[in-house]
Amino acid sequence: MIVDLERCVGCGKCVEDCPLGAISLIEEKAVISQKLCVNCQTCAKVCPEEAITKEAEPLPGRVRCDACPIGCEIALGKTGACKRFQNEDGRLVRTVPLHTFADIKDIVGPDYEEAIRRPLITAIGAGTTYPDARPAPYIVQGKSDGIDVVTVVTEAPLSYSGIKVKIDTDKTIGEEGAPVLIKGRKVGHVTTEEYGSKILSIGGANLLTGKNCFTVARTIVEIANREPVELRVKKGSTLKMQVGKAPVIDGEVIQKMRVGCGSASMGLFTPFFKEAADEVIVLDSHLTGLFTEHAAGRYVNARYSGIQLRGRKSTPGRYFQDQGHGWGGTSITNPLEIIAGVDEEIAWDGMTLLITETTGERASMFRWNGKGFEEIPLTAAAQRAVGVINNTAQPSRVSAIYVAGAGGSARAGVTKYPIKLTQAVHACKACLTVGGAPTFIFPGGGITFAVDVERVKRGAFTWVPTPATVAPIEYTMRHDDYIEMGGHQEAMKPFDVVVKDLKKVMV
Ligand code: SF4
Ligand code: SF4
């Protein structure tokens, strides 16, 4: 990398961000250690003065890594920017050897044994014993896999609770952090975007105790019970949604989620793109891909088209875009708008261009006539490529994870020593299920769990106007462990007796 000393103002941003510590400031100017530098260009990307550029020629005596789009040029005995690959005697080796499961099993830790993974009874319909000083409504003893186990159940009111909603779409729904409203009342906010989906966070203790608390509690429960709800993102979209169904965004039923970003599409469909056209652009709001410049195109010796794209370049053939209501969730409504320029020295007459989205729902084809692009019908090979994307794109749907903290007073209904229950859950000796569904227990303190609401019987979530949402919680453990943790032995009933009683109630 070359530093233009005239331009460098000594701000030190490159020093902070160089992944290899290859830059130092000397007399308020950036100085790059050529021994350590691998030409990853991180410094050039963060320099506000554009004072750092890459040499035209690759560095001599280096090995080029092609394990990611950065393409580090690594000197003998040194590592690349990610420190995963090292140049050892002129060949690249992994700095960390491949691990078998046996190598890491002690770090992964224990798993719940089969006998306690499923509760003897669920807490659906069990009721609550308030205050929790009383034993939980049902403490049931029975056999599972020939082992004596105990299941303790309660429909726990959880004031620390909320729901994360995943909406599979490449459509823009609103700014990250934007409030999510129901009938004008705030019930949550837009959080991050995860793999082609938008995520909403609804509820949480602060909203559940705020001025819209009852609306918040009702909304969490409606979503968790897979009922239809209509939400609006402030300064964003209207969302009609129901867990398990396709979302309706601004009145449009969303059919497909994206297969990945525009760059991922390049690697996923390389052989089809090579056949489809001389150049392929996959429009996407995260990363738009340009095939002949992308590593995937280079891998199959695609000839560079001379097309330059709009957007901030990440690595060759990968361009960050804005968000909007156009193609691929970008602001582009006419696909040719993605082209910033064409190098007429490189482009050739008759060169074909396919532009599509990461869902393959829209596609157009063009031919270069020496001055501009004219639209032509999609060729059979282009239709095949677009069809493969569309068939790979999964149906769009809404899903949700209910998240809550069960590490509070409800523990007193299980044991006289609440901390022992918390410890048992983290040691995989007491298994927490929700309506029989498996949960993920968050690491760290307390008992914070997450459950896929589609695995819980519809209608099992309720709310009380304290306000709190109510979820059916079961703890199942070995009988001996329950006694050892100070469980309410006196309230224990055999499974057969409990089941007989249930039948009586039903009669
Ligand atoms: S190119 Fe990468 S390794 Fe080299 S100085 Fe810049 S940030 Fe550091
Ligand atoms: S995988 Fe690591 S060493 Fe290889 S090019 Fe990427 S950042 Fe550089």
- Name the residue type at position 407: G
Report the 10 Å Cβ neighbour count for 346: 13
Strand runs (DSSP E) across 4-131, as ranges?
Answer: 23-26, 29-32, 52-53, 63-64, 73-74, 85-88, 91-94
| Percent of the chain's residues with pLDDT above 70 | 99
> Parallel, antiparallel, or unpaired: how do β-strands 279-283 and 352-357 relate?
parallel
Ligand 1: residue whose CA is nearest its atom 2? 40
pLDDT confidence of residue 299: 95
pLDDT confidence of residue 505: 64
Both tokens of residue 429?
A: 């000796």
Ligand 1: residue whose CA is nearest its atom 3? 37
Tell me what the mean pLDDT of segment 39-50 comes to: 95
3-state secondary structure of 281: strand
Contacts 24+ apart (CB under 8 A), 18-25: 18/42, 18/43, 19/81, 19/82, 19/83, 20/78, 20/79, 20/81, 20/83
| Percent of the chain's residues with pLDDT above 90 | 92
Distance CA 32, CA 22 (A): 6
Tell me what the mean pLDDT of segment 177-203 comes to: 94
Q: Whose CA is closest to 32, among 17, 258, 370?
A: 17
Dump pLDDT digits (tens) for 60-80: 889 999 999 899 999 999 999
Tell me what the mean pLDDT of segment 428-436 comes to: 98
pLDDT confidence of residue 506: 56
Tell me what the mean pLDDT of segment 465-474 comes to: 96
Ligand 2: residue whose CA is nearest its atom 6? 68
Tell me what the mean pLDDT of segment 312-316 comes to: 92
Q: Whose CA is closest to 321, among 351, 367, 282, 350?
A: 282
pLDDT above 90 (res 457): yes
Both tokens of residue 80?
A: 């690349």
pLDDT confidence of residue 133: 86
pLDDT confidence of residue 132: 84
Distance 43 CA to ligand 1 centre (A): 6
pLDDT confidence of residue 195: 76
Report the 10 Å Cβ neighbour count for 339: 19
Whether the upstream peptide bond of residue 228 has omega within 30° of 0, thus cis, is: no
Q: Cα 18 vs. chain centroid, distance in angstroms?
A: 27
Report residue 297's pLDDT band, with 50, 70 and 90 as the boundaries: very high
**pTM (predicted TM-score):** 0.89
Tell me what the mean pLDDT of segment 411-433 comes to: 96
Distance CA 12, CA 441 (A): 42
Ligand 1: residue whose CA is nearest its atom 8? 18
List all residues whose CB is within 6 A of at least one atom of ligand 2: 65, 67-68, 70-72, 80-82, 84-85
pLDDT confidence of residue 194: 80
Give the lowest-confidence range in 55-59, 198-202, 315-319, 470-474.
55-59
Dump pLDDT digits (tens) for 92-113: 999 999 999 999 999 999 999 9
Phi first, then psi, for residue 51 (nearest 5°) are -90, -10
- When the pLDDT of each residue in the chain is averaged and rounded to a whole number, the result is 95
Specify whether the CB–CB gap between 158 and 238 falls below 8 A: no
Distance CA 182, CA 466 (A): 20
pLDDT above 90 (res 502): no
Distance CA 438, CA 450 (A): 9
Residue 67 CA: nearest ligand 2 atom is 1
pLDDT confidence of residue 501: 80
Report the 10 Å Cβ neighbour count for 13: 16
List all residues whose CB is within 6 A of at least one atom of ligand 1: 1, 18, 20, 22-23, 32, 37-43, 81
3-state secondary structure of 233: strand
Tell me what the mean pLDDT of segment 341-364 comes to: 97
User: Helices (H), strands (E): how many in the chain?
Assistant: 13, 35
pLDDT confidence of residue 414: 97
The residue with greater pLDDT, 438 or 130, is: 438
